[in-house]
Structure 1
Amino acid sequence: MEDVYYLTSREARLLLASRGPVKINLDLRKTGRRWEITRDGDEFVFPDGTRVSREIMERIARDTENVYFIRKGVYKAAIAGEHFYKLVPTIPPTIEINGIRMHRTKGTNPLQDTRSKVNAVKPREGETVLDTCMGLGYTAIEASKRGAYVITIEKDPNVIELARINPWSRELFTGGKIQVIQGDAFEVVKRFNDETFDVIIHDPPRFSLAGQLYSEEFYRELFRILKPGGRLFHYVGNPGKRYRRKDLQKGVMERLRRAGFVEVKRVEEALGVVAKKPGKK
């Protein structure tokens, strides 16, 4: 695989402060590995031979809102189309779509946020997990690290492309225990057989962007494909509660019960709801 090196303003500042060769981390601190960067006049020379001018490095050093990567050239980890997508230099990175971050980052980080969701249903060795909305794949990766086989769904090809760029998402495509399906979760779940999954982790976009993924019709499909005794975690968040006194979680819980789920309760630390499918009598 072709080497890729990652820069944020932090690494750029370290390079600009150096007088000669310097060893720094270039995988967004996913590992403790360090690469040696040399200087040739006003250029920084990366291990693959790519040369980055001081002017470009200074521009990256001033940009605290973006991730850059080097692969025979310098690129911003962003995609512009119908919407604007980018990696945000939190550690690990989150994804931002039209200015909206896909992970909680205030008082936490995307990895802690992910673990709080996965811990709500505790996937175990040998279980099969459905992750309905992949994003950067942190949920799928965390579940697979616990010994589960994971099927994850992502509707947006641009999100999948950013996941391929992001070093923290690499296990999605290399681990062998995760299957990625591109498609709309509302339609994809209809193709699964009854009682396929031990665990479902449902972390949809906000209600205003994907209301169908909060519908009773969708919850009935999740109920159908979950094994008896299977566990569901549904991230809801608290949109609108502070200002409009709306309780989206309450409506979600009512629809889950109508769909057949039992033991439906809030998980405050993960801003979501857990539920179970009744076991066989």
Structure 2
Amino acid sequence: MEEVYFLTYGDAMRLLLTRGGARLNLDLHKTGRSWLILRDEDEFIFPDGTRVSTREVERIARDRGNLYFVKAGGVYKAAIASQEGFYKLVPTIPPTIEINGIRMHRTKDTPPLRDTLSKVDAVKPRDGETVLDTCMGLGYTAIEASKRGAYVITIEKDPHVLELARINPWSRELFTGGKIQIIQGDSFEVVRKFNDETFDVVIHDPPRFSLAGHLYGEEFYRELYRVLKPGGRLFHYVGNPGKKYRRKDLQKGVMERLRRVGFTGIKKVGEALGVVAGKPVRGR
């Protein structure tokens, strides 16, 4: 696998302040490793031999809102412009994805990793269990569940999100861990193909309602209930419970629809901005 070296605006500023070179962490602090970057007149030489001009590094140092990476002789912005919209990795640690200005993780008061932990902790996957992660994104939820010993099936609809996940060092375990299976497709359609009572845990973290309303509907919840084992647990991220969507209490509506399809023990999880529910054990 080709080495990918990430640069934030802060890293670029440090390079510009050096004369002969500097040691920097170039994997967004996924590890404590450092790499030596040498300075040669008006160029910086990266470990794979790529030469980056001082002018290019100055441009990166002025750009606080984007991430850049060096790979195979070139410098690239960690972003994709397409007919579907504009996608980019945001320089939080770990990164989040921003799609058309909307971030996938809470970042204002909660770092993305803490956001992930609060969701996974709500249902506490255990060693040997099988987890369905309905909306992969950068895969932090799937990775965290697999670290706890679970086998994870995760679904991602958007090929551009998958492309950014492949270059993000914090998503690497998605493709190398061996306990995570990625399915590309719309969760609404993919979940229908699973057998009854396949999963011990479902973590449902959909895009906001305005972008994926079909993933908040009773028909989809019925499918989640079907594929969950008796005694299984569901976490459903809803978003800020203090906000209303078109004058409707979204969280209240979610809880009512979950109840109608058979879920029990439904309650709010404030820290994770969602709700948990369970599928009752037969005979109880």
* TM-score, normalised relative to structure 1: 0.98
Structure 1 runs (4+) greater than 4 angstroms displaced? 242-245
Question: What amino acid does structure 2 have at the position aligned with 1:41?
Answer: E
The corresponding residue for 1:5 is 5
| Cα separation, 1, equivalents of 2:49 and 2:214 | 49
The corresponding residue for 2:165 is 163
Question: What amino acid does structure 2 have at the position aligned with 1:21?
Answer: G
The corresponding residue for 2:139 is 137
After superposition, residues 90-169 of structure 1 pair within 5 angstroms as 90-169=92-171
Does the Cα contact within 8 Å between 1:238 and 1:247 map onto a contact in 2? no
Does the Cα contact within 8 Å between 1:238 and 1:248 map onto a contact in 2? no
Question: What amino acid does structure 1 have at the position aligned with 2:178?
Answer: G
Cα distance per residue 1:19-63 (max 9 Å; x no partner): 112111000111110000001101000000000000000000000
Instruction: Indicate whether 1:220 and 2:226 are aligned.
Output: no
| Cα separation, 2, equivalents of 1:191 and 1:260 | 20
In structure 2, the CA distance between the partners of 1:272 and 1:68, relative to structure 1 (3 Å rule), is same
Deviation at 1:242, TM superposition (A): 6.2
Question: What amino acid does structure 1 have at the position aligned with 2:54?
Answer: R
Query: What SS is found at the alignment partner of 1:250?
Result: helix
Does the Cα contact within 8 Å between 2:265 and 2:278 map onto a contact in 1? yes
After superposition, residues 11-22 of structure 1 pair within 5 angstroms as 11-22=11-22
RMSD: 1.1
| Cα separation, 2, equivalents of 1:177 and 1:278 | 27
After superposition, residues 24-103 of structure 1 pair within 5 angstroms as 24-71=24-71, 72-82=73-83, 83-103=85-105
Cα distance per residue 1:202-240 (max 9 Å; x no partner): 000000100000000000000000000000000000278
User: How many residues are paired up?
Assistant: 281
Does the Cα contact within 8 Å between 1:240 and 1:246 map onto a contact in 2? no
Deviation at 1:197, TM superposition (A): 0.1
Does the Cα contact within 8 Å between 2:244 and 2:250 map onto a contact in 1? no
Question: What amino acid does structure 1 have at the position aligned with 2:256?
Answer: E
| Cα separation, 1, equivalents of 2:228 and 2:135 | 16
Question: What amino acid does structure 2 have at the position aligned with 1:74?
Answer: V
Deviation at 1:246, TM superposition (A): 3.5
Which runs of 5 or more residues in structure 1 are unaligned?
A: none
Cα distance per residue 1:137-181 (max 9 Å; x no partner): 000000000000000000000000000011100000000000000
User: Percent same amino acid at aligned positions?
Assistant: 79
Question: What amino acid does structure 2 have at the position aligned with 1:264?
Answer: I
Query: What SS is found at the alignment partner of 2:190?
Result: helix
Cα distance per residue 1:73-113 (max 9 Å; x no partner): 00000000021000000000000000000000011111000
Query: What SS is found at the alignment partner of 2:127?
Result: coil
Query: What SS is found at the alignment partner of 1:140?
Result: helix
Instruction: Indicate whether 1:273 and 2:275 are aligned.
Output: yes
| Cα separation, 1, equivalents of 2:240 and 2:38 | 49
The corresponding residue for 2:202 is 200
Query: What SS is found at the alignment partner of 1:241?
Result: coil
Which runs of 5 or more residues in structure 2 are unaligned?
A: none
Deviation at 1:241, TM superposition (A): 1.6
Deviation at 1:114, TM superposition (A): 0.3
Does the Cα contact within 8 Å between 1:131 and 1:200 map onto a contact in 2? yes
* TM-score, normalised relative to structure 2: 0.97
The corresponding residue for 1:186 is 188
Question: What amino acid does structure 2 have at the position aligned with 1:77?
Answer: A
Question: What amino acid does structure 2 have at the position aligned with 1:95?
Answer: I
